Structure 1
Amino acid sequence: MARALYIHWPFCLAKCPYCDFNSHVRDSVDVAAWQDALLADMRHEAELAGGEPLTSIFFGGGTPSLMPPRLVEALLAEAAKLWGFALDIEITLEANPSSVEAANFADLATAGVNRVSLGLQSLDDEALRFLGRLHNAAEGLSALEVAQKAFERVSFDLIYALPDQSPEHWREQLEHALGFGTSHLSLYQLTIEPGTRFETDVRRGGFTPLDDDLAAHLYQVTAEMTSAAGMPAYEVSNYARPGEESRHNLTYWRYQDYAGIGPGAHGRRGGMATFRHKKPENWLGAVERNGHGLKQEEALSRSDQASEALLMGLRLGEGIDIAALSARVDMPEEALLRPSMMQQFGGMDLIWRKGNRVGVTPKGMPLLDAVLAGVIEDDLLFA
């Protein structure tokens, strides 16, 4: 049974050059049509994955803060009717820090949103221009102030390891960020994703990504500063005060079931993977034809489930209960993790084990992809 619900709003005012998310720019959006379609998609999913009160809802995108508050309110009212809400439900909405969107924060809070994830991305105007953002630093900080007054919980994103970024520059940025007193930060190293404008720019020599060794040093700086501020890493790129972790994202990383609706949304229910049509117009057409936006449902093999659980769970500071996973997928532990590599990486302080729990050490987190490729059995990595 799904305990979490993801709602995708695919529209943005502009496509950022680093972004590979399912986001689209449109001249206009028929809000009434989108409301009807999202409600229909939600009802279909609730029929298959209902029965338990929701503990979290996440509006992702795209730019969900472009959604009219009345639409958010209608979707939350329907979700409450279909599933019911846990008393302490976390309802997060991703937001951009434009003045137009910040003006809606109070109404979004009234609609039921109690946590916002704000896409500041940088506190430096030059970096914001490089990242293709539509706001400047002053506008971002103003939106953060409005958000902290409107919502119970506030997180914001920053992107670092930019070309030629020095440790001193990042320390200054992060010290400034930690001074705002939010309970959660998402701090991402710039990654050149396939199919993005930045990939084209790098290929054409427009800029050179930061050296890997320097990027790893900036990661260590990040870990040290956040830990000293009482916000240790609980996932490779996420930092929070104890108890303020994103419950919704923990659902993914702990490999629990969740429902996903809207264009391109993925879901997991009862060993099934669900995929919805990605292009907004295709998703709308599917809902009109079928009453839902599903493109595909796929039964996951034991190997598929083991692979997903490991790749997700080993991102977490808490690691994964390998004995519980072994029982869940009915596979012996040695078929999940290579004993020889576990021993080797353990000796290098890249992997830890305490009883049944296995995790990646702080030293190993900057090398996460290589560590995972080393310890997870090939049959699972390429399942």
Structure 2
Amino acid sequence: MSQSPPGTGAKDDPGFGVYVHWPFCASKCPYCDFNSHVRHEPPDEARFLAAFAREIATTAARVPGRTVSSVFLGGGTPSLMAPATVGAILEAIARHWTMAPDCEVSLEANPTSVEAGRFAGYRAAGVNRVSLGVQALDDADLASLGRRHTAEEALAAVAVARAHFDRYSFDLIYARPDQTPQDWETELKRAIGEAAEHLSLYQLTIEPGTMFEALHRAGKLAMPDAEMGRVLYDLTQEVCAEAGLPAYEISNHARPGAECRHNLIYWRSGDFAGIGPGAHGRLTLGNGRIATATEKHPETWLSLVERQGSGIVAEDPLVQIENADEFLVMGLRLAEGIDLARYEALAGHPLDPGRIAFLAQEGFVQRLPGGRLKVTPAGFPVLNAVVADLARTD
């Protein structure tokens, strides 16, 4: 089974990415449900590097001959790694696959002065894009979010990133407790003034198993209601669009051409290798496409890789309808929408034209020239319901 039907144009070739997960953080943020771990003693970086290199080699042996169009070093906090470690990981990837001449190499970083001091080293190691976890430009809110930097320190780190990288982005969280539309508009416009080309803007959500969930359940954390959340979402779209950073994905805004290429691989249902503790991947093998997941616990993953070459603990064939559903769910997050012919090739049947017509009449989706379908601005706030309606087979 091929990954996608042949076609013309960039959207028909999502590219091949490598995601590398560094699972360690200096502290655990109360809202975070990512696979991140705090250690009282620094991890053995050399030992983890050897394991990353070995898992890269094992994965490349399964999917040889690919050209890597993007690498994303995520976490956790990858900016806790020494630049030499990052460089060695990139060298391991280049040994086993071909790196595209314009390969995007992104690294997530905390905007502290210590980590910003490593930016020159990361640039020399081969990183060409950084994504900074700013999260807020208000010191009181940064403290409540468990962040270890101030707004001033974050903006100083953004300035350092600007000096070393042509491409950089940063994240903000909105719909925070007691945040007003006026507060958010002021903060967002300040952020846009610092952002060269890209912002990731996420509504604060209460994730299971987090400290915020426990506080919320105990009545000690008041969240904005759905109506206020919608007001803040609409304001975000309006302010960013007016500033030339429209949403290209439901939570990501960029100037045209500055989209995160690695994340586009996910949203366009491309293949990517997941390397490191808790990393997920999608790989096309000779007999079809598989979903992979590695062991989440860092030291357990390390032992697995040292024993067997890989930390993969789950490997599931993706049947036809699973590939099609994933393509639908991920692709409709994008402002560009999906290619209906590609969906039909993946699923073995077209989307129900009656449902498309109904959703279009309600103003939630729009058919585009060239056989594409996109969700409208009115449809994005109810995206899950739109996708569920389109995916129905009854």
TM-score relative to the length of structure 1: 0.95
- Residues 21 and 358 of structure 1, relative CA distance in 2, 3 Å threshold: same
Q: Give me the whole-angstrom Cα distance separating, in 1, the residues matched to 2:324 and 2:190.
A: 40
Q: Deviations over 1:32-69 (max 9, x none)?
A: 11011000010011111231221100000000000111
Which amino acid in 2 is paired with 1:332?
H
* Among 12, 26, 44, the residue aligned to 2:25: 12
State which drifts further: 207-216 or 101-110: 207-216
Equivalence for 1:60: 74
State which drifts further: 348-357 or 140-149: 348-357
Equivalence for 1:361: 376
Q: Percent identity?
A: 50
Equivalence for 1:273: 291
Equivalence for 1:291: 309
Could you say what the CA RMSD is over the residues aligned between the two structures, in angstroms?
1.4
Which amino acid in 2 is paired with 1:238?
N
Which amino acid in 1 is paired with 2:108?
E
Task: Please state whether the residue corresponding to 1:199 is helix, strand or coil.
Answer: helix
Task: Please state whether the residue corresponding to 1:16 is helix, strand or coil.
Answer: coil
Kept in 2, the 8 Å contact 1:350–1:364? The answer is yes
Task: Please state whether the residue corresponding to 2:38 is helix, strand or coil.
Answer: coil
Kept in 2, the 8 Å contact 1:49–1:259? The answer is no
Kept in 2, the 8 Å contact 1:45–1:259? The answer is yes
> Is 1:171 matched with 2:185?
yes
**Superposed displacement of residue 73, structure 1:** 0.5
Which amino acid in 1 is paired with 2:334?
L
* Among 80, 86, 94, the residue aligned to 2:108: 94
Task: Please state whether the residue corresponding to 1:128 is helix, strand or coil.
Answer: helix
* Among 241, 244, 249, the residue aligned to 2:263: 249
Q: For 1:1-383, what aligned pairs fall within 5 Å after superposition?
A: 3-27=16-40, 28-270=42-284, 271-329=289-347, 331-334=348-351, 338-355=352-369, 356-377=371-392
**Superposed displacement of residue 354, structure 1:** 1.6
Q: Deviations over 1:94-141 (max 9, x none)?
A: 000111111101101100000000000000111111111111111111
Q: Deviations over 1:72-92 (max 9, x none)?
A: 010111111211211111000
> What 5-or-longer segments of structure 1 have no aligned partner?
none
Task: Please state whether the residue corresponding to 1:333 is helix, strand or coil.
Answer: coil
Kept in 1, the 8 Å contact 2:170–2:195? The answer is no
Q: Give me the whole-angstrom Cα distance separating, in 1, the residues matched to 2:64 and 2:222.
A: 48
Kept in 1, the 8 Å contact 2:323–2:346? The answer is no
Q: Deviations over 1:281-313 (max 9, x none)?
A: 110111111011111211111111111111100
**Superposed displacement of residue 373, structure 1:** 2.4
**Superposed displacement of residue 16, structure 1:** 0.5
**Superposed displacement of residue 195, structure 1:** 1.1
Kept in 1, the 8 Å contact 2:31–2:207? The answer is yes
Q: Give me the whole-angstrom Cα distance separating, in 2, the residues matched to 1:351 and 1:98.
A: 42
Q: Give me the whole-angstrom Cα distance separating, in 2, the residues matched to 1:43 and 1:52.
A: 13
Q: Give me the whole-angstrom Cα distance separating, in 2, the residues matched to 1:378 and 1:220.
A: 32
Task: Please state whether the residue corresponding to 2:25 is helix, strand or coil.
Answer: coil
Q: Deviations over 1:7-49 (max 9, x none)?
A: 0000000111111110000122001110110000100111112
**Superposed displacement of residue 370, structure 1:** 2.4
Task: Give 4+ residue runs of structure 1 displaced > 3 Å after superposition.
Answer: 338-341
Q: Give me the whole-angstrom Cα distance separating, in 2, the residues matched to 1:332 and 1:175.
A: 45
Task: Please state whether the residue corresponding to 2:29 is helix, strand or coil.
Answer: coil
Q: Deviations over 1:203-226 (max 9, x none)?
A: 000122111111111111111111
**Superposed displacement of residue 339, structure 1:** 4.1
**Superposed displacement of residue 264, structure 1:** 0.6
Which amino acid in 2 is paired with 1:21?
F
> What 5-or-longer segments of structure 2 have no aligned partner?
4-14
Which amino acid in 2 is paired with 1:17?
P
Kept in 2, the 8 Å contact 1:46–1:83? The answer is yes
